């Protein structure tokens, strides 16, 4: 708890309040990145939050577990928050909630049944009992000055919702994450009729998922994956091992159906897979024929052709089940005759890790079927073709592309313009931009600073960009500690310094000439009166950096330790 | 020079020699990876090397510049090497040559004109003047017991060669890197007639490029990219900035032609682009209309619609021209109206870096055209459809898939089997496997150990897997130095230890309770007689690791510094 206060980002300068009667919209995450979605709506002194997710770090953010949205700008106003609406149960939309509720545990969470069950399980691990308000498509409720209406949207997790927000300032529609599969596996279509009705009423601001805005055409229907999945189950002589996202209930349903049709039992492997599918079964989102799912012990006793495993690790995560199978360190050994089915996307940045797993499995003799060689995955987000349908149906006054890197937001903006939205009514915004909807017109009126808030071990917000820069330097160059015993009266070394290195390959033998270089530098420093402990450390560090760069062509992080003789 | 001897990999146990009359083939790099290609052929006591390239490190190999093949198994026999054949001028085939020639500078290099000019320029930077033997397609020469014949192959760099190696043991054909563009820009086809003739003679062992063996169909012709490249030059109102590989002479030719046709002058930007294209122009591989290429100063004075720039950085390399333009730190500023054309592949592992550059350029207002949204790049390697033509034309006795990760080698092996090569005559091998061709049959008869040889600053082979593991730990967790002054008689701390952290975010205040934990641990150690300096360091390190993990949930690298009071 205390660590939250130690945030690196200072509380942002409080922006001037929105004009009377206006609705202010500010994204604290999710613009310019895919992850940590969090948008705050302010009206009449009250705040409504939509989503509170996490962002997963990239390779230049080492040691970071997840990145949170930066809600420092509303930290002093958490009592004004009337609710957090969670559009669906993915981590990039709900993963930040436990950290937000640490600061005010009784903020009501509004969401669909499955979404609330996923966040409930997560909060239970954080020992938080949330206040929840369950809603469903077609539902409508009022919180403070916000009149909320929920609409069904189709996505790669069941029970997703779009939310329409009515205030005195106008009507806002936020799609959440969505696509428009016209034959969804659960027959729950994205509610374009509802979108049309809201369009008739007049949507003043339309927030639209941009993830696939640069992908031409239409996302293939989930049902069209069935033949390729079926074929794997029908033709594999050994075991079928399926790896997918632990929240992709529909994909797992397809896998269970294929296993059942081909006389295989299924074991679920991996903590998050077991937890989420358990919830999905309990709540009726996943239909399981009696006796189909068995435990891992039972499955190990069955002949290979009667076995299917469903596990985590489709992104090559080194500690997940699949990577351990590929490395031969998991109790279940994979081999000749088995097929591994990666029914998942290949998230940019994870390629090397995934290919390492595929190479490992291939070397063990398994056949690996993935998106690259079979039709076994489609995205959960609307492609360009679907998005233009939306724009033409809703015909919004102003568009705010959300949920994307800059290139996605811009591609989405171009789509809106092509459907006839005026270019100056399409806002390509950044996290922290203040968008005020006032007199029927939404414009960017200012900006607040928004930082990356790093969760790092048990600390939140302690690690800064400077910390990460140090880690990158340590990780590429290693560290060199110089322990120097110095006579405080003469500023002279009393013996050869000790050199301790990690991640830098040179034994102490190579450091002989450093001693005389340090001696000279210390003498020069003494001559100009630089003899405090700080001066000595500084002199030793600088001289060592210089000497090591010249001698070895490298730049390890140098830590000077000066001891009084 | 001296650092070479300090290699981490011990000289491999000398394998028993091949049977009399046999040809031994061993890959010292390039199997199970895309990079550091190097294959050694041994016959009658002499060695022939084909290619000597580098491998670029992945994210789990921090601080490494490049990775070399491991030639320790032939280090004591470099005088037996009759030549190094370089199939073409890409880094993964020639990049290791300077390091090999440091060990024996007069090994003759055999290659085509462009290949020798590229390696010559590289060796000049290393101040090595090589012994070279220029060959061209159709050429034949004998080195020791090896009768060599060279055949034209088409690739993403001009002047590539396949090599047929005849010895008393039989006929080997090595494709080098190739594809089979039927309308190559330089009209230099892969010599399938020659392949057919060798097939008639009887190819006993066929080494085949596997890079695209898992890509179905045929690689699109380079000529078919012209319309998309043309369109960029025709329709861009501002400047056109093209980024491509600095060795892709044909692609650059297309770009120069499109610029010329559309009234634009061209500046080449970036050291490697200037160097390689200068060589290509001098040798006649690149045809440049008079006055088309101008220098950077001249181009800055021209109106935007008359400007084209050709630069490096298509893989998102942070120090290359394109990334600096995207970050706004390059003298040439990119903006609204400009188009950036990435006429290059997206090498797995580089996605995040490339997308960072695309996002940066997009945010500056530029339009970015790349492989993902236009037909502006094709691979330089044969796809599955092309490879099966080769197998059917050559009808080899035995196949050795080369140049690929395990999944590529295996996919290539399956293609060979589908064309009728017996499964036991397709060798999916690893680096170091000894393949003996004897009495017309090639089999794996043993293995020598092959390591990754890391070039790291000015050292070669000093950094080991353990070094990299330390760097990974430092890079994700940071480092914590404990400076403890200990009374040698009592093993007690004489004052609170100093804690110095880097990449780990906790001030000294948080470490209060550590002192008493260390006191207790030192007392316990003293009680069991562990009082040497090593014992004290060990005790302090262990206790600190334990305490930090419990207190902060993190595992920084702990460096104990113990000073006698």
* B32 interfaces chain A, CB cutoff of 8 Å: yes
Distance CA A504, CA B464 (A): 10
Do the Cβ atoms of B561 and A498 come within 8 Å? yes
Average pLDDT over residues B50-70: 94
Mean pLDDT of chain A: 93
Nearest chain B residue (CA) to A405: B359
Q: Is A209 designated active site? A: yes
Under a CB-based contact definition with an 8 Å cutoff, are residues B94 and B119 in contact?
A: yes
Local confidence band at A337 (pLDDT 50, 70, 90 cut-offs): very high
pLDDT grade for A11, boundaries at 50, 70 and 90: very low
Indicate the number of domains in chain B: 3
What CATH number is attached to the domain comprising B435? 3.60.15.10
CA distances in angstroms from B401 to A319, A356, B413, B416, listed in the order given: 31, 19, 6, 9
Residue A462 clears pLDDT 90, i.e. is over it: no
Q: What share of chain B in percent tops pLDDT 70?
A: 97
- Does B342 lie at the interface with A, CB-CB under 8 angstroms? no
Torsion of CA A380, A385, A388, A392, to 10 degrees: -110
User: B397 with B542, same domain?
Assistant: no
- Exposed, middle or buried: residue B3 (CB in 10 Å: 0-12, 13-18, 19+)? middle
Does residue B454 fall inside a structural domain? no
DSSP line for B360-416: HHHHTT-EEEETTTSS----SS-BHHHHHHHHHHH--SEEEEESB-HHHHHHHHHHH
Establish if A419 touches chain B: CB-CB under 8 angstroms. no
Same domain, residue pair A231 and A345 = yes
Selected for mutation to probe chain B from A404, A474, A485 (highest B CB count within 10 Å) is A474
Same domain, B204 and B61: yes
Residues A430 and A482 in one domain: no
Same domain, A549 and A455: no
Average pLDDT, chain B: 93
Q: What's the pLDDT tens digit per position in B361-396? A: 999 999 999 998 899 999 999 999 999 999 999 999
Q: Determine, for residues A63 and B503 on separate chains, whether the beta-carbon distance falls below 8 Å.
A: yes
Instruction: Give B8's pLDDT tier (boundaries 50, 70, 90).
Output: very low
- B347/A contact by beta carbon, under 8 A: no
Cβ neighbours for A52, distance < 8 A, ≥ 6 positions apart = A37, A38, A69, A84, A86, A93, A94, A95, A96, A97, A100
B interface mutation test: which of A9, A365, A370, A407 has the most B CBs within 10 A?
Answer: A407
pLDDT-derived band at A273 (thresholds 50, 70, 90) equals very high
Give the domain-ending residue among A347, A370, A393: A370
Q: Note the pLDDT tens digit of each residue in A242-257.
A: 999 999 999 999 999 9
B463 vs A contacts (CB less than 8 Å): 505
Residue A8 belongs to a domain: no
The range of the structural domain enclosing residue B188 comes to 20-217+379-448
Q: Is residue A238 located within the same domain as residue A193?
A: no
- Weakest mean pLDDT among A6-20, B252-266, B495-509: A6-20
pLDDT top residue among A216 and B15: A216
Per the annotation, does B79 bind a ligand? no
Do the annotations mark residue B92 as ligand-binding?
yes
Query: CA–CA distance from B140 to each of A228, A537, B110, B208, B330 (Å)?
Result: 50, 66, 11, 21, 48
Quick check: is A469 in a domain? no
Whether B47 contacts B74, CB under 8 Å: yes
Residue where a domain terminates, one of A391, A426, A460: A460
Q: Is residue A230 part of a domain?
A: yes
Q: What is the pLDDT of residue B9?
A: 37
The pLDDT, as a whole number, for residue A85 is 98
The reply to whether A420 and A281 lie within a common domain is no
Q: What is the spatial distance between Cα A87 and Cα A381, in angstroms, rounded to a whole number?
A: 14
Quick check: B182 contacting A, CB < 8 Å?
no
- Indicate which CATH number applies to the domain containing B339: 3.40.50.10710
Judge if B528 and B558 occupy the same domain. yes
Active site residue A181: no
Give me the residue label for tokens 């097929």: A339
Which pLDDT does position A14 carry in this prediction? Answer: 67
Closest A-chain CA to B506: A462
Interface of B with A in 533-562 (CB under 8 A): 552-554, 557, 559, 561
Specify binding-site residues of A.
Answer: 63, 65, 88, 90, 92-93, 155, 177, 246-248, 377-381, 403, 456
The span from the CA of B162 to the CA of B173, in Å, is: 7
Mean pLDDT for A138-158 is: 98
Question: For residue B234, is it within any domain?
Answer: yes
B433 and B517 in a single domain? The answer is no
Report the percentage of chain B scoring pLDDT > 90: 85
Same domain assignment for residues B410 and B499: no
CATH number of the domain that residue A523 is part of? 3.10.20.580
Residue at which a domain ends, from A399, A430, A460: A460
Closest C-alpha among A305, A265, A310 to residue A289: A265
CB contact under 8 A, A368 and B506: no
Q: What is the pLDDT of residue B352?
A: 87
Q: Say if residue B145 is in the same domain as residue B164.
A: yes
CA distance A506 to chain B (A): 8
Q: Are B368 and A474 an interchain contact pair (Cβ–Cβ within 8 Å)?
A: no
Partner-chain contact B362 A407, CB within 8 Å: yes
Answer yes or no: do A483 and B351 touch at CB < 8 A.
no
Q: What pLDDT does residue B181 have? A: 96
Residue B138 included in any domain: yes
Residue B1 domain-assigned? Answer: no
Based on the domain organization, do B170 and B52 belong to the same domain? yes
In the predicted structure, residue A524 carries a pLDDT above the cut 60:
yes
Over residues A222-238, the mean pLDDT reads 96
Is A149 inside a domain boundary? yes
- Local confidence band at A283 (pLDDT 50, 70, 90 cut-offs): very high
Q: Give A194 to chain B, closest Cα distance, Å.
A: 33
Q: What is the pLDDT of residues B527-549, one digit of tens each?
A: 999 889 999 999 999 999 999 99
Instruction: Output the CA angle A261-A267-A273, nearest 5 degrees.
Output: 115
Residue A506 has pLDDT above 90, yes or no: no
Can you say which residues of A are annotated as belonging to the binding site for substrate?
Answer: 246-248, 377-381
Among B501, B506, B476, B503, which residue's Cα sits nearest to residue A3?
B506
What lies within 8 Å, CB to CB, of B489 at 6+ separation is: none
Closest alpha carbon within chain A to B361: A407
What number is the average pLDDT over the span A301-310? Answer: 96
What is the token pair recorded at A357? 């797993």
For an interface test with B, the pick among A471, A473, A482, A483 (most B C-beta atoms closer than 10 Å) comes out as A471
Query: Residues of B with CB below 8 A from A563's CB?
Result: 483, 485, 563
Helix-helix angle B351-363:A406-418, to 10 degrees? 50
């Amino acid at each position: 708890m205390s660590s939250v206060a130690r945030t690196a980002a200072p509380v942002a300068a409080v922006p001037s309040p929105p004009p009377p009667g206006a609705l202010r919209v500010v994204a604290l995450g999710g613009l310019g990145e895919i992850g940590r979605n969090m948008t705050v709506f302010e009206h009449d002194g009250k705040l409504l939050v939509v989503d509170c997710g996490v962002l997963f770090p990239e390779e230049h953010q080492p040691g970071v577990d997840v990145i949170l949205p930066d809600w420092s700008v509303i930290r002093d106003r958490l009592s004004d928050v009337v609710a957090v609406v969670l559009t669906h149960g993915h981590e990039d939309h709900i993963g930040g909630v436990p950290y937000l509720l640490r600061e005010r545990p009784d903020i009501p969470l509004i969401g669909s049944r499955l979404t609330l069950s996923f966040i409930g399980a997560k909060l239970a691990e954080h020992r938080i009992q949330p206040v929840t308000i369950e809603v469903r498509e077609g539902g409508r409720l009022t919180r403070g000055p916000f009149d909320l209406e929920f609409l069904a949207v189709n996505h790669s997790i069941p029970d997703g919702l779009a939310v329409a927000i009515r205030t005195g300032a106008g009507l806002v529609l936020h799609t959440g994450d969505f696509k428009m599969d016209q034959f969804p596996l659960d027959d729950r279509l994205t509610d374009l009729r509802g979108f049309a009705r809201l369009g008739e009423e007049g949507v003043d601001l339309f927030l639209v998922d941009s993830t696939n805005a640069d992908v031409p055409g239409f996302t293939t229907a989930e049902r069209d994956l069935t033949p390729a999945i079926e074929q794997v189950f029908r033709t594999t002589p050994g075991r079928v091992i399926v790896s997918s996202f632990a929240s992709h209930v529909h994909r797992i349903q397809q896998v269970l159906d294929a296993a059942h049709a081909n006389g295989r039992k299924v074991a679920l492997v991996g903590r998050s897979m077991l937890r989420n599918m358990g919830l999905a079964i309990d709540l009726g989102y996943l239909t399981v024929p009696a006796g189909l799912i068995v435990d891992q012990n039972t499955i190990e006793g069955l002949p290979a052709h009667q076995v299917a495993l469903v596990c985590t690790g489709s992104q090559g995560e080194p500690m997940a089940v699949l990577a351990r199978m590929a490395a031969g360190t998991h109790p279940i050994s994979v081999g000749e005759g088995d097929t591994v089915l990666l029914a998942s996307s290949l998230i940019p940045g994870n390629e090397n890790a995934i290919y390492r797993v595929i190479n490992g499995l291939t070397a063990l003799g398994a056949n690996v079927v993935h998106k690259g060689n079979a039709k076994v995955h489609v995205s959960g987000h609307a492609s360009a073709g679907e998005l233009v349908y939306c724009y033409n149906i809703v015909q919004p006054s102003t568009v705010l592309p959300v949920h994307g890197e800059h290139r996605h937001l811009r591609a989405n903006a171009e789509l809106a313009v092509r459907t006839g939205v005026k270019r100056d009514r399409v806002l390509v915004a950044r996290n922290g931009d203040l968008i005020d909807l006032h007199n029927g017109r939404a414009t960017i009126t200012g900006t607040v600073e928004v930082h990356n808030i790093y969760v790092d071990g048990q600390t939140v917000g302690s690690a800064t960009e400077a910390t990460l820069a140090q880690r990158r330097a340590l990780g590429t160059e290693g560290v060199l500690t110089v322990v120097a015993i110095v006579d405080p009266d003469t500023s002279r070394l009393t013996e050869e310094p000790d050199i301790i290195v990690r991640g830098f390959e040179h034994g102490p033998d190579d450091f002989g000439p450093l001693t005389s270089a340090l001696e000279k530098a210390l003498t020069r420093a003494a001559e100009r009166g630089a003899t405090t402990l700080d001066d000595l450390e500084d002199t030793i560090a600088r001289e060592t950096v210089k000497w090591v760069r010249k001698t070895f062509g490298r730049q390890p992080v140098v830590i000077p330790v000066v001891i009084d003789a």
